[in-house]
Amino acid sequence: FSAGSDQEMAIFGEAAPYLRKSEKERIEAQNNPFDAKTSVFVAEPKESFVKGTVQSREGGKLTVKTEAGTLTVKEDQVFPMNPPKFDKIEDMAMMTHLLEPAVLYNLKERYAAWMIYTYSGLFCVTVNPYKWLPVYNAEVVTAYRGKKRQEAPPHIFSISDNAYQFMLTGEWPNHGSYKLFCHL
């Protein structure tokens, strides 16, 4: 789906940088050098997984260079990395490699940028920021109103407005759930 231009994101006001990467950041990510054969995540006891570059392969073991140094690990401790264009991706179902290290990395990177909402297919994953962010004001509610999920960045307002719109139009994906919801 369309990532939306910075101009289109203006309707979200001060919340925009907490919801989606800027155009500049998206373009930079697409232009970052990347080697799919050597760029990996490697299991690391303190951090779970860290980024690394495969230096050599020999006898079922790999030597991987990380920011902290060089590790020699078994092949099953190394996982493929997604190209940089997937960094801070809004819907992790779009990843080339939907593996635990890639999911954790994406959530960590989004959280570091205070982008606390992320989709994973049909689900909206939220990481508690433990602080107030400007993503819950009337301007943001209005920006999400009437938009399909693919037309706006991940947010609980998108999920709730879409559910509300489905109820109004009778297009609820599961009629049994709809009837149960209506009787509650």
**What pLDDT score does 174 carry?**
60
Helices (H) and strands (E) in the chain, counts: 6, 7
Chain segment 158-184, per-residue pLDDT in tens:
999 998 988 888 766 665 555 545 544
Q: What radius of gyration do the chain's Cα atoms show? A: 20
Chain segment 102-129, per-residue pLDDT in tens:
999 999 999 999 999 999 999 999 999 9
Cα–Cα distance, 139 to 15 (Å, whole number): 9
**Across the chain, what does the average pLDDT equal?**
90
**Domains of the chain and any CATH numbers:** 6-32+84-183 (3.40.850.10), 39-80 (2.30.30.360)
Cα–Cα distance, 52 to 63 (Å, whole number): 10
Predicted structure pTM score:
0.86
Distances (CA, A) of 143 to 6, 100, 108, 140, 157: 14, 32, 26, 5, 9
Highest-pLDDT range among 22-26, 74-78, 159-163: 74-78
Torsion angle in degrees (nearest 10) through CA of 69, 75, 79, 83: 80
Chain segment 31-71, per-residue pLDDT in tens:
889 999 999 999 998 889 999 999 999 999 999 999 999 99
Task: Show Cβ contacts of residue 40 under 8 Å, excluding neighbours closer than 6 positions.
Answer: 51, 52, 53, 54, 64, 78, 79, 80, 81
Confidence band (pLDDT; 50, 70, 90) for 84? Answer: very high
